């Protein structure tokens, strides 16, 4: 058994990353290989939930001239991509762990020329090296989300640098570090300002309790990196921006070194006694400018948007999926659920109001990218009429929800029995003028034929049948976040 000091010496104190896919204290991983596309749905009851059913991994594949049911809009031209963990040949110790695999569908001229599933060829892919080696900015799985920036497609995981892939065939180009200026990890949820073209993001450390805020100008140059100390090493998955400010969330999921030393693959724990707070800082500010305001303990994985109240600019509204608690048993236990909430941050009074927007289970929020940081009307997410599971797994999402913040109404697109959704992202109609002029794209798994489809919904009428469905050759395992690469 390693001592606490020995562990820190091996892991390093830079805070550059944390556990990633290779367990810190033991175990190895096997190079992924292709698997038959016609295999039965894996359901070994001896395995954890993230290795069963449609969470189980698949092999690399591709298919051409895909069948389309309905009519793809000709204006919907580009590449839909979605990232997620997918390790074959090894039983990972947490859903968040696993080699990153990107699933992409090309759309053009009302057709779907191809689908590809490709591993992101990171330094960690298939690694079997020293499990005690210190984490680095490039030794991770890049398995969480995708950013399209300056015509680059970047695969993100919050423990390291982005990995760039080609939009031509999803092949891996390599790590991207903004001309060697990025020296920390990069969040999986950066924010792109639609008006200024600035890219804003942060990275956080676990061995050193701090976050570093980064600002990239419209030309793609990293022009600001601001280190902001934190009291404890927390997991900070998302943040938000307004036209003039950034909003950080210091919430009580803590890195636990004792769990790491004992061999936990994902050494984080729920610690409400640590308290919770929201920090607001000008977008060009410094650590000294951050104003922290305490809130009730909770956790937020994902947010919709943040914006200044038109009647009182000192108030910033932050819309998010809020969990009253999470991982109470362990970090693989997702049997608490999130609800849509609005945090109203009064920076002048130093207090935060909280409004629950809906009482349904919700996750994976998205908005029109054109509304980022400003007043917006429509928010989209996944929802379910199911219940949380006893095994700690996520409930099966079987609805796409659309919130209208002007009327307070909610619209639903409901799936048939046995169908399950992944994140639905908004793609704007290039000729559209309204905020909801566009489409929602999502992978949907159907138990009836053990295959997935790409659903295309009219964002203005999401309760209507899909505009089109692209039939895929096999299932797409449940994963995380996606992006759309417009045709050039």
How confident is the prediction for the chain on average, in pLDDT? Answer: 90
Buried b (16+ CB within 10 A) or exposed e, 221-239: ebeebbebebeebbbbbbb
Any idea which of 48-57, 213-222, 252-261, 315-324 has the lowest mean pLDDT? 252-261
Report, as an integer, the average pLDDT of 380-397: 87
Beta bridge partners of 155: 146, 163
- Show Cβ contacts of residue 317 under 8 Å, excluding neighbours closer than 6 positions: 306, 307, 308, 309, 342, 343, 344, 345
Check whether 451 has a pLDDT greater than 90: yes
* Confidence check: pLDDT of 437 > 60: yes
Whether pLDDT at 272 is above 50? yes
Band (pLDDT 50/70/90 cuts) for residue 24 is very low
- For 4-486, the fitting CATH number among 3.30.70.270, 2.120.10.30, 3.40.470.10, 1.10.1240.10 is 2.120.10.30
pLDDT of residue 427: 98
Structure-token match 């762990």, residue found:
97
**Worst-scoring range by mean pLDDT, 238-247, 253-262, 478-487?**
253-262
The residues, ordered by sequence, that sit 6+ positions from 481 with a Cβ below 8 Å of its Cβ are 82, 83, 144, 145, 146, 188, 189, 364, 423, 425
Of 93, 101, 103, 20, give the one whose Cα is nearest residue 50. 93
Mean pLDDT (whole number) for 37-59: 89
Q: Quick check: helix, strand or coil at residue 54? A: helix
Please tell me the predicted confidence (pLDDT) of residue 324: 96
Task: Return the closest-CA partner of residue 242 out of 162, 169, 315.
Answer: 315
Asked whether residue 167 carries a pLDDT value surpassing 60, the answer given is: yes
Taking alpha carbons only, the member of 267, 247, 227, 235 closest to residue 94 is: 267
Specify the pLDDT at position 27. Answer: 30
Tell me: pLDDT of 10 over 70. no
Strand 339-346 with 351-356, pairing: antiparallel
Is 76 within 8 Å of 437 (Cβ atoms)? no
Q: Where does residue 288 rank: exposed (0-12), middle (13-18), buried (19+ CB within 10 A)?
A: exposed
Q: Token pair of 391, please? A: 């095994």
End-to-end CA distance of the chain: give it in Å, rounded: 55
> Tens digits of per-residue pLDDT, 187-215?
999 999 999 999 999 999 888 899 999 99
- Segment 265-282 shows an average pLDDT of 94
**Per-residue confidence (pLDDT) for residue 264, from 0 to 100:** 75
Given pLDDT bands bounded at 50, 70 and 90, which one contains residue 89? confident
CA distance 395 to 418: 13
């Amino acid at each position: 058994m390693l001592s606490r000091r020995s562990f820190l010496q091996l892991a390093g104190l830079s805070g550059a990353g944390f556990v990633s896919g290779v367990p810190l204290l033991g175990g190895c991983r096997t190079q992924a290989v292709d698997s038959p596309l016609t295999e039965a749905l894996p359901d070994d009851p001896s395995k954890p939930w993230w290795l069963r059913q449609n969470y189980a991994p698949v092999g690399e594949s591709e298919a051409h001239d895909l069948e389309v049911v309905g009519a793809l809009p000709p204006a919907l031209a580009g590449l839909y991509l979605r990232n997620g963990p997918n390790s074959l040949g090894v039983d990972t110790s947490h859903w968040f762990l696993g080699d990153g695999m990107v699933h992409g569908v090309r759309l053009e001229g009302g057709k779907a020329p191809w689908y590809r599933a490709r591993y992101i060829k990171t330094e960690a892919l298939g690694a079997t090296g020293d499990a005690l080696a210190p984490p680095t900015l490039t030794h991770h799985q890049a398995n969480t989300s995708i950013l399209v920036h300056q015509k680059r497609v970047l695969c993100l995981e919050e423990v390291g640098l982005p990995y760039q892939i080609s939009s031509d065939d999803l092949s891996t180009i390599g790590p991207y570090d903004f001309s060697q200026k990025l020296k920390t990890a990069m969040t999986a949820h950066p924010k792109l300002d639609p008006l200024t073209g600035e890219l804003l993001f942060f990275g956080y450390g676990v061995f050193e309790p701090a976050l570093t805020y980064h600002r990239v100008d419209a030309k793609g140059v990293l022009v600001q990196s601001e280190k902001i100390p934190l009291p404890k090493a927390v997991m900070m998955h998302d943040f938000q921006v307004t036209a003039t400010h950034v909003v950080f969330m210091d919430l009580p999921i803590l890195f636990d070194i004792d769990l790491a030393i004992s061999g936990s693959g994902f050494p984080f724990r729920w610690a409400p006694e640590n308290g919770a707070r929201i920090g607001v800082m000008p977008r060009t500010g410094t650590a000294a400018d951050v104003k922290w305001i305490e809130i009730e303990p909770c956790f937020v994985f994902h947010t919709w948007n943040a914006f200044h109240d038109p009647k009182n600019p000192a108030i910033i509204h932050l819309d998010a999926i809020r969990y009253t608690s999470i991982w109470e048993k362990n970090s693989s236990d997702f049997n608490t659920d999130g609800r849509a909430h609005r945090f109203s941050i009064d920076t002048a009074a130093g207090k935060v109001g909280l409004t629950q927007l809906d009482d349904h289970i919700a996750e994976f929020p998205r908005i029109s990218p054109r509304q980022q940081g400003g007043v917006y009307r429509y928010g989209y997410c996944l929802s379910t009429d199911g219940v949380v599971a006893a095994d700690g797994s996520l409930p099966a999402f079987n609805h796409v929800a659309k919130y209208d913040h002007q009327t307070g109404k909610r619209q639903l697109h409901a799936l048939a029995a046995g169908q399950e959704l992944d994140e639905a992202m908004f793609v704007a109609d290039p000729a559209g003028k309204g905020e909801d002029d566009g489409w929602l794209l999502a992978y949907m798994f159907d138990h009836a034929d053990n295959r997935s489809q790409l659903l295309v919904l009219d964002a203005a009428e999401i309760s209507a049948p899909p505009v089109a469905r692209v039939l895929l050759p096999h299932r797409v395992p449940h994963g995380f976040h996606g992006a759309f690469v417009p045709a050039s």
